[in-house]
Amino acid sequence: MSALKVALGAEALGLRLDAALVAALQRQGRSCSRSQLARAFAAGHVRIGGVSAGKPARLVDAEVEVELELSDPEPMRAVAEDLPLRVVHEDVDLLVIDKPAGMVVHAGPGHERGTLVNAVLHYLGKRAADLPVLRGNDATRPGIVHRLDRDTSGLIVVARTERAQEGLAAMFRVHDLRRRYLGVVWGVPGFTKKTLRTRHGRDPGDRRRFSPHVDEGREAVTHMQVLRPLKDAALLEFTLETGRTHQIRMHCRMLGHPIVADAMYGGMGGPPSRRALAAELGRHALHAAQLGFRHPVSGVELDFTAPLPPDLSHLLEQLGISGQVAS
């Protein structure tokens, strides 16, 4: 059982108390499932001014402090689900998958089903019993050695054996892979090529987001190249030297050229024409187009590419590029 105090301000006015608490906890970098909150309300463990809040109602006061006791989350277990899965490469040690936008890689609060892991378990069937779990991970992440954001499409590698998982994990630790992304940003940058080296840490104003403007943090290095200037936008290629969470998205926001439709990093604003395109796309315009590495068991050099998905190709057509863009 965890006891917390959560301060709700004007941003919560008019929201239901449960929704306001979830948003506030996320800003603090805490996770809370709907079932945890439902149990807390039912048990009278959500209190305002020392009095049980009862059922979650809409907030009418702008400044409220909520006392909250949360039970420990029930352990999650990955289960097989029959979901579409585009396998680019398969051998006895690993899979390379072209992940669609909108699919979470592994389970977490609010995302127990519909993940890449669920799809992989179904695809492998009985063979999934041998999927390894990386040290430090839980049972919801079999075979996972890295991840892509939910709304980033493109290539991800999954380990099928312990020897492959250990080898791949070592490569990711020392950044000994080739990772190239394609993204569409708002505005046309004033450079052809650029390398950004910054710090990377949680944004103190919103713990869901990352920022280069932190006192302490790990180094984040992104190499950028403008491939095609467009109408009020540009197609960029990003090559990762490090692979921090939201690294490309953070760096684009820092430059004043956010990824199109990236709501968390400023890609939904601007004039009505921009907002309409972003709303139609419905996800940030970022795609993991290339993944290359030395096979962790055989030592053979592997290189994979994934074409732009139809939604990003359509966006480029709307912005002035017709035809297929090379991945």
Q: Which amino acid is at 160?
A: R
Rounded to a whole number of angstroms, the distance between the first and last alpha carbons of the chain is 49
* Residue 185, beta-bridge partner list: 234, 259
Dist. CA 172–CA 242, nearest whole Å: 9
Dist. CA 236–CA 256, nearest whole Å: 14
Dist. CA 37–CA 22, nearest whole Å: 9
| Contact (Cβ atoms closer than 8 angstroms) between residue 78 and residue 121 | yes
Instruction: List the Cα angle 139/240/148 in 5-degree steps.
Output: 30
Let me know if 72 is a catalytic residue: no
Instruction: List the Cα angle 88/90/95 in 5-degree steps.
Output: 80
Where are the strands (E) in 25-124, listed by range?
A: 46-48, 51-52, 64-70, 86-90, 94-99
* DSSP 8-state secondary structure symbol assigned to residue 324: P
From the candidates 149, 151, 203, 262, which is the catalytic residue?
Answer: 149
| Contact (Cβ atoms closer than 8 angstroms) between residue 236 and residue 226 | yes
Catalytically active residues, by annotation: 149
